[in-house]
Structures are given as C-alpha cells and as structure tokens.
Amino acid sequence: MRGPHNIWRLIRTGATFERSGAMREILDGMEAPRSIRIAARVLAWPFRFLGYKGDPTMPPVTRALTALGPAYIKFGQILSTRPDVVGEDMALHLRVLQDQLPPFSVAVAKASIEAELGLPVDELFSEFSEPVAAASIAQVHRVRLRDTGELAAVKVLRPGIERAFRRDIDAFYFAADVIEILSPASRRLRPRDVIEHFEGVVKGELDLRLESASASEFAANTVNDVGFQLPQIKWGLSGRRVMTMGWADGAPLGNNAALDAAGHDRRELGERVLQLFLNHALRDGFFHADMHQGNLKVAANGDIIAYDFGIMGYIDEYTRRVYAEILFGFIRRDYKRVAEVHFEAGYVPASMDVDEFARALRAVGEPIFGMDASHISMGRLLNYLFEVTDRFGMETRTELILLQRTMVVVEGVARSLHPQINIWEVAKPVVEDYIKQSIGPKAVLGDLAKTAAVLGRFGPRLPGLVESILVRQAQELVEPAGNGWVGRVVWGLTGAGLGVAGTVLVVMFG
C-alpha cells in the first residue's frame, strides 16, 4: 500500500488546505516566516482545485481537517488545546473537533450495536438518544439500561473508520520516507518511528475492548485520588466496536461560562488537571493520553471526571525516574544536572559537551521563571527547543512521544482554564514527592527488595547459569593451535568468574 499513489493523497492534502483558506490561517497563526508563507502558497495554489471542498459553513482550518479525515482531525484536536501556539481564535474554532463533528445516523449506530452484542437494542436499553457527542473515531449516545434503569453512555465506532485511518497512515508513512530522502538531517527525528508509534496508538483506539480494559486498570490505579472520578465500564454491554459505561454528569471542562455559573474555581481546576496527570504518569506509569477538554467534565461536587480511554500512555519505572529528574532539575534551575541526566540516559550523544548543553537548556528554562505564563510564547519556546535538539544531535525518543504530547495538551487545558498558570510551580510538589519516593534511600531499599525477589525466583537455576557462562567463555578462548592457550583458558575462567560475581553484586547493590 505504501507506494507512489500516496503522492496523490498528499497533493490533495495541500490542495485542501489552500482551497479552504486554512493554509493562510495556519501560517499566520503560527507566525511563520514570510519566505515559508510564500513558498507554501506558491506550491499549493496551482493544485487548489484538487482539494476537498468541505463544509463551507465551518471556519477554514476546521473545514479542511474534517474534509481530510480522522487522522487529520486527531492532529487538530491537539492544536485546539494550544491557543499560545495557534492563536485564541483558531484554538476556539478547532475545539469543535473534540466532540462536535457531524454524526452518523441513529439507525446505523443501532445496527452496529445489535451486530456486536447479538441482541436487539430495545431489549438492552429503554431509552436511546440522538448522538450527544461525535468525534473522529466514534460517537456517543445517552441510554437508559432496561434491567436497572441506570443512565449510561454507549460509544459506537464510525462505519468504515478502520479503512479511513489505514489510508491516512499509509500516506503518512510515504511522507516520512520522502522527508528522510530529501532531508537526511531529519533522520535523527525518526519520522518513520513516529508514524509507527501513531499507528500503534490508533490501532488501540479502534478496538473498544482494549479501551474498556484500559479504563478498568486506570480506575484501579486512581481509586484513592481526591477530586477525580471515572465512569464504570459495563462489560456485558461492550465489545470490539461498542463500549458502554456509566453516564458522566457534569459541566464540560472546556465551557468556562458553565464552570463559572456552577461556582467552580477555574484556577484550582487547572492546577488539579496538571497535578493529576503528573501523578498518574510518575506514580503509576499509566496515564490518560488524550486529556483534552472534550474528554473531561466537572461534577457538581467539583470532581474532575475523565472518560474516553482510547489513548493511554505507559512508561517504565526507569524512564519515569529520568523524566522526574529532568523536571526536578528545571524546577530547581539546576541545568547542569538536567544536562547530566540527558547524557546518562543516552538522550544526547556522549561526544557532545555537557556544559555547553547545560547552557543551551538554561536559555530554554530561564525565560519561564518569574514571568507571567501568559507572556511566554510557547511557539517560540518550542522552536528554540527544536534548535537545541538539532544542534546536539538528539534523536526522537519514541517511548516519550505520548508523554510529551500529553504534557503539551494538559498544559493547554490548564491554561484555557487559567491563562496565568505556571506549569513549573504547579508541578513542583508532585515531582518533589516522587523524587523522595523513587530516588532517595527508601527507593534504594525497595530496589534491593525487588532484586532479592528476582534472585530468589532464579536461585535454583543460578549454578547452572554460571556453569554455562564459564563453559561458553572457555570454548571461545581456547585456540586449536599456538602457544599460550592454557594461559588464555585460565584467564578466561577467572574473568568469567569475576564477571558473574560482579554482575550479581551490581544487581544486588547497584
């Protein structure tokens, strides 16, 4: 599928942006250099008649993205949380991509439910509403369960969504290949790996059984989080293309007027959103990776309600510690330590100068401290960060893509609630607590206990493992002819023994 025919898809993409007027609006909103604006318009203008028309009643960017399909809509959802990057007007226009897209018919939804669950809809639900939310992949209906009378939400995948995503991702792979060929310098950003990661995320979203499992695990992890709640999954009414959960009743987190009318403190809500995300990412290593306003509500009692668990992020314990140390270093303005952590984790090539990298990080971090967050241009900041990564040969870390993307989204949500919020000040108590728990003496004892447990499980096999290592190294060192082979064998056996002993000591005490 990944062949030259994708050129047509990419041409139509550019043509659609030009035809709808989105090209000009995006470049203006992101304050792109004049040379880039001229080049983009000149290249796209001759092909504008090939672009999709879209809905002319929509704003230009929203019109283009909805016409192009679900993968592009996902991109627009991310931009909708970044008014500091794309401008307030465009962010507001893009907000409809979160849950206000054109729905498909109730009849189609009911047919999909019946095919998935094997029972008529009327036997399952006593009430079945028109769509209450429609996003890029699925839409939601409010229902009442016939057997209990409980209100619930039924999520149904869009017809043909799997094929639509496959077509777009196919084109994205082709674009990544072209970029790598035309710009060898871009290979450090690993565009193909980025698309592969995105493909994996999308595949997870297209199987609602996986989303149900994620919701269940997330609920178990966060059951004791104050001010946070999740709707309960109805497993008997869920499948691959259908998911049923309890109804989330509250004010949309993106409706500031409704939040104010209900008497909620928007500053406190913004801070809580940030701290909840950091707790989930650092404490649990499992976090909601699609925390835009369309997936969050505020209950009458002030609790934040999260739903739509199609995109969840996971990071291992080592990566969490690295991420926490980087954040902690920025909070303390200890740029030398931040630089050292990057080198220790292998994020920056060892051939680079750690002190020079620390100075570059200082130029990124210092403008943030002591400033009103509303005066910081995140667009310029991200641009400078990109220059730093290019200058020091840093490769894209695919395991951190989802974490970094969600951090951007969550900060955007928090700032939409309270524009003056400062991410570093809000993050400080959460990160400090994690550092104390995971890097201090208590953490060392915990690591030793885990190591002892692992060694205990493998204890009966250790003599055999040591013997096999010794024999293998001896065989590799013995020469069929020539002088000194006995000495080599003795030296090899001694080295192997020391190596095994050293490995055990490192595992136990390192």
Domain final residue pick, 423, 439, 455 = 439
Question: Considering only CA atoms, which of 398, 413, 362, 363 is closest in space to residue 190?
Answer: 398
Looking at the fold, whether 129 and 154 belong to one and the same domain comes out as: yes
Strand 286-288 relative to strand 251-252, pairing: unpaired
Domain assignment present for 231: no
Looking at the fold, whether 287 and 363 belong to one and the same domain comes out as: yes
Question: Considering only CA atoms, which of 78, 76, 80, 79 is closest in space to residue 95?
Answer: 80
Domain assignment present for 228: no
* pLDDT score of 486 more than 50: no
pLDDT at 198 (0 to 100): 72
Provide the β-strand partners of residue 424.
Answer: none
Looking at the fold, whether 349 and 479 belong to one and the same domain comes out as: no
**In the structure encoding, which two tokens stand for residue 406, read together?**
């969600």
Q: What are phi and psi of 81, to 5 degrees?
A: -95, 0
Looking at the fold, whether 204 and 264 belong to one and the same domain comes out as: no
pLDDT at 224 (0 to 100): 94
Looking at the fold, whether 423 and 282 belong to one and the same domain comes out as: yes
Looking at the fold, whether 313 and 348 belong to one and the same domain comes out as: yes
Nearby residues of 408 by Cβ (< 8 Å), 6 or more positions away: 78, 81, 82
**In the structure encoding, which two tokens stand for residue 170, read together?**
């196919």
Domain assignment present for 448: yes
Looking at the fold, whether 278 and 322 belong to one and the same domain comes out as: yes
Which stretch of 253-257, 389-393, 424-428, 499-503 has the lowest confidence by average pLDDT?
499-503
Provide the β-strand partners of residue 295.
Answer: none
Structural domain tally of the chain?
4
Q: What are phi and psi of 349, to 5 degrees?
A: -55, 140
* pLDDT score of 306 more than 90: yes
Domain holding 358, by residue range, is 250-439
Which stretch of 292-306, 339-353, 464-478, 488-502 has the lowest confidence by average pLDDT?
488-502
Domain final residue pick, 439, 460, 483 = 439
Domain assignment present for 227: no
Contact 379, 239 (CB under 8 A): no
Q: What is the DSSP letter of 373?
A: G
Contact 64, 70 (CB under 8 A): no
- DSSP character string of 281-341: IIIISEEES--SGGGEEE-TTS-EEE---SSEEE--HHHHHHHHHHHHHHHHT-HHHHHHH
C-alpha 288 chain-centroid distance: 8
Amino acid at 153: A
Looking at the fold, whether 80 and 152 belong to one and the same domain comes out as: no
Q: Three-state DSSP class for 347?
A: coil
Q: Across 183-192, 285-294, 469-478, 487-496, which has the greatest mean pLDDT?
A: 285-294
| Cα gap 69→75, rounded to integer Å | 10
Contact 176, 379 (CB under 8 A): no
Q: Residue 243: which H helix or E strand, with range?
A: strand 242-246
Looking at the fold, whether 62 and 156 belong to one and the same domain comes out as: no
Domain final residue pick, 394, 412, 439 = 439
Task: State the pTM of this model.
Answer: 0.69
Looking at the fold, whether 92 and 144 belong to one and the same domain comes out as: no
| Cα gap 54→244, rounded to integer Å | 32
Mean pLDDT of the region 122-146: 93
pLDDT at 122 (0 to 100): 94
Looking at the fold, whether 374 and 316 belong to one and the same domain comes out as: yes
Strand 228-229 relative to strand 138-145, pairing: unpaired
pLDDT at 501 (0 to 100): 34
Catalytic residues: 290
C-alpha 465 chain-centroid distance: 40
